[in-house]
Structure 1
Amino acid sequence: MLVFEFKAYGKSAQIKAIDDAIRTAQFIRNSCIRLWMDVQGTGKNDLQKYCAVLAANFPFANELNSMARQSSAERAWASITRFYNNCKKGIPGLKGYPQFQKDCRSVEYKISGWKLALNRKSITFTDKKGIGQLKLKGTRDLHFYQINQIKRVRLVKRADGYYCQFCIDVNRQENIEPSGNTIGLDVGLKEYYTDSHGVMVENPKFLRIGQKVLKRSQRRVSRKVKGSKNRGKARQVLGKRHLKISRKRKDHAIKLARCVVQSNDLIAYEDLRIKNMVRNHCLAKSINDASWYQFRV
C-alpha cells in the first residue's frame, strides 16, 4: 500500500465544508465509542449499522458520504480492538482504553464520494457537504495507477493548510543486490547512532536548535486574549514552526534508515522500550527529539 500526498487548494467556502466534514467524522467516531461503552457486547457490525441510525437522526451526519461514515466507525473499532489486544497481551500499565476524540484533523473516504479528474490535477467530492472541486499540487504522478487501485482518499488538516492523501493498492518491490555486509547499531543522544565499525553519525537535534524560536512564538500565543483572532493567528504560526521541525526530523530519520538498509544485508540493533524511557523527565525531550522510533520503523 502506497500513500501519496498532495496539497489541496480551494475557496474559503470549500475550506469551511472540509472542516464541517472533519467535525462530522469526529462526531460519528465518538458516538460509536459511546455506543460501545453503553451497550455490552457491541461489535464491529453493530457500529456499522449505527452509522445509518446517526444519518437518519442527524441531518449533518446524513450529508457525509455513507462510506466516509463507515470509515469513522472503523476508526472507533480500531481503538477498541487495540484496547482488547493490550489486555490480552497483559501489557503493564495503561491499556489504552478508548477515549473521545477532541481534535480530529482528517476525514476518510473509501471508493465512493469522490471523483478524480482525467488530468489527475484536481479531485471533486460529490457528497452533500459541498466541498466540490479541489486543486491538487504535488510531485507524485497518479497516471501510473488505475482509479480502481485507489482504495482510500483522506482530507487532512495541518497547520500550513489542507492535504489530500491517496492510499493506492500496489505491490512494490525493489531488487537490491546482496552486499555481504552486516552491521550493529547503538543509538544514543550525543551521537545519533554508532555502528559496529566505529562510524558515528551526529545527532541533528532539530528541536534544540529551533527551541528559541518556538519559545518566542509560544510567548506570543500566551499574551493574546483567548478566543481572539490574533491568538488564532499566533497559534497558527506556532503550529507551522512545530510542523517544520517534525518534518525535518522525519526526513532525516527516513533517509538515514534507507541508506543503512541499502548498504547492509543484516542489521542488528537494540530493542529499546522508548515508551518507558521517556518517563525520565530529564531526558524525555531529547529522546523524543532523537526520533529513534521513526528510524527503526
Structure 2
Amino acid sequence: MLVMEFKAILKKPQELAVNEAIRTARFVRNKVLRYWMDNRGVKKKELYRYNTQLRDEFEFVKDLNSHACQASVENVERAIKRFFDNCKKKVPGKKGYPRFKKHSRSVEYKQSGWKLSPDKKSINFTDKKGIGKVKLKGTWDLWRFDSAKPTLREQKLIKRVRIVQRADGYYVQFCVKIDNLKRLGATGFTVGLDVGLKEFYTDSDGYSEPNPRFYRKSEKRLKFYQRRVSRKKKGSSNRKKAVNRLGRHHLKISRQREEHAKRLARCVIRSNDLVAYEDLRIKNLVKNHCLAKSINDAGWYKFREWLEYFGQKFGRITVAVNPAYTSQNCSSCGEVVKKSLSTRTHVCKCGCRLDRDHNAAKNILTRALSTVGHTGTLLNAWGDLSSTFPDSGLVKQDGSMNQESP
C-alpha cells in the first residue's frame, strides 16, 4: 500500500464543509465507542448496525457518505482489538484503553463518495456535505503505476481517500494498492548502527552522522510564538492566528526530522546488504526527564521505521538486536569495561581503544551476524531476518518475520 499526498486548494465554503465532515466522522466514532462501553461483549456486526441507526436518527450523519461512517466504525474496532491484544500479551504499563476523541483532523472515504477528474488534477466529493470539486496540487502521477492496464478504473486501484487538516492547510491522501518492491544487486557490505545524542548514529566502520537537533535550534523561535499565544485573549480571532503560527512552526520541525530520517535510512539500506540496529524502547527512555527532550528531538524511532520500510522495499535484511551491554563490552576481546555515560572513549586492557559509539556499533553488528548464522542463505530474503528451524542443517527456512512499516 502506497500513500500519495496532494495539497488541496479549497475555497472558504469548502473549508467549512470539510470541517463539518470531520466533525461528523468524529461524532460517529465517539457514539459507537460509547455504545461499546455501555454494552460490553457486542461484536462487530452490532457496531455497524448501531452506525445505521445513527444515520437514521441524525440527518447530518446521513449527509456524510456511508462508507466514511463505516471507516469511523473501523477505527473504533481497531482500537478495541489493539487494547485486547495488549492485554493478552501482558504489555507492561497502560494497555491503551479506547478513548473518546475531542479533536480530530481527518475524514476517510472508501471507494465511493468521490470521483477523480479526467485530468487527474482535481477530485469531486459527491456526498451531501457540499465539499464538491477540490483542486489538487502535487507532483505524484496517480496513473504511472497502472501503465500496463490503462483501462482499469481508479476505484479498483485506489482503496482509500483521506482528507487531512494540518496547520498549513488541507491535504488529500490516496491509499493506492500497488507492488512497490524493487530488488537491488548485492553490495557485499554489512553495517551496524549505534544511535546517540552526540552523533545521530555511528556505524561499525567508524563513520558518524551529525545530529541536526532541529527542535533545539528552533526553540528560541518557538518560545517567541508561544509568548504571542499566551498574550492573546482566549477565544479571540487573534489568538487563533497566533496558535496557527505556532502550529506551522512545529509542523516545519516535524517535517525536517522526517525528511532527515528518510534520507539517511534510504542511503544506508541501498549501500548495505544487512543493517543491524538497536531494539530500543523509546517509551521507556523518555522517562528520564533530563534526556527526554533530546531523545524526542533525535527521532530514533522514525529512523528505525524508515530502515524497516526501505529494507522491505529494496530486499535488504534489517536486524534489531538487544542493546544490552553493547556499550560496555569490548568489541575486540569481549571483556566487560564498565563506563559512565560521560565516558566517550572505550579503553580495554587488550589494547583496543575506540570511540564509545564506534565500539557499540561493532558489537551490534557482531550480535546481528551471530543471529543471522549462515548469512549467505539469507541475502535474498525480503525485509527483516527470517530465522532457521532448529536442527534443520540450514536447509529449510521458515516464513518471513517482517511487517510493513506504517
Pair 1:151 & 2:159 matched: yes
Which consecutive aligned stretches of 4+ in structure 1 deviate over 4 angstroms post-superposition?
none
Pair 1:165 & 2:155 matched: no
TM-score normalised according to structure 1 size:
0.99
- The Cα shift of 1:32 comes to 1.1
Q: Which structure 1 residue ranges, 5 or more long, are not aligned? A: none
Pair 1:289 & 2:297 matched: yes
Larger Rg: 2
* Alpha-carbon distance in 2 for matches of 1:45, 1:181: 52
- The Cα shift of 1:251 comes to 0.2
Task: Report what 2:261 is aligned to.
Answer: 253
TM-score normalised according to structure 2 size:
0.72
* Alpha-carbon distance in 1 for matches of 2:176, 2:45: 25
- Percent of paired sites with the same residue: 59
CA-based RMSD: 0.7
Task: Report what 1:110 is aligned to.
Answer: 110
The 3-state SS of whatever aligns with 1:174 is coil
The 3-state SS of whatever aligns with 1:183 is strand
* Alpha-carbon distance in 2 for matches of 1:175, 1:248: 28
The 3-state SS of whatever aligns with 2:165 is strand
The 3-state SS of whatever aligns with 1:136 is strand
Task: Report what 1:44 is aligned to.
Answer: 44
* Alpha-carbon distance in 2 for matches of 1:43, 1:199: 54
Q: Deviations over 1:29-59 (max 9, x none)?
A: 1111111100021222221221111111111
* Alpha-carbon distance in 1 for matches of 2:184, 2:212: 29
Pair 1:215 & 2:223 matched: yes
Q: Deviations over 1:112-166 (max 9, x none)?
A: 0000000000000000100000000001011224502000000000000000000
- The Cα shift of 1:175 comes to 2.0
- The Cα shift of 1:2 comes to 0.5
Task: Report what 2:125 is aligned to.
Answer: 125
Pair 1:242 & 2:263 matched: no
Q: Please show how residues 9-48 of structure 1 align to structure 2 within 5 Å.
A: 9-48=9-48
* Alpha-carbon distance in 2 for matches of 1:285, 1:82: 28
* Alpha-carbon distance in 2 for matches of 1:249, 1:46: 42
Counterpart code for 1:12: K
The 3-state SS of whatever aligns with 2:179 is coil
The 3-state SS of whatever aligns with 1:268 is strand
Q: Which structure 2 residue ranges, 5 or more long, are not aligned? A: 147-152, 306-406
Pair 1:275 & 2:283 matched: yes
Pair 1:193 & 2:201 matched: yes
Counterpart code for 2:239: R
Pair 1:184 & 2:192 matched: yes
Name the one with the larger helix percent: 1
Task: Report what 2:387 is aligned to.
Answer: none
- The Cα shift of 1:178 comes to 0.5
Task: Report what 2:273 is aligned to.
Answer: 265
Higher relative contact order (CA 8 A, sep 6+): 1
Q: Deviations over 1:191-227 (max 9, x none)?
A: 0001111110000000000001100000000000000
Task: Report what 1:54 is aligned to.
Answer: 54
Counterpart code for 2:304: R
Q: Deviations over 1:255-292 (max 9, x none)?
A: 10011001001111111100111111111111111111
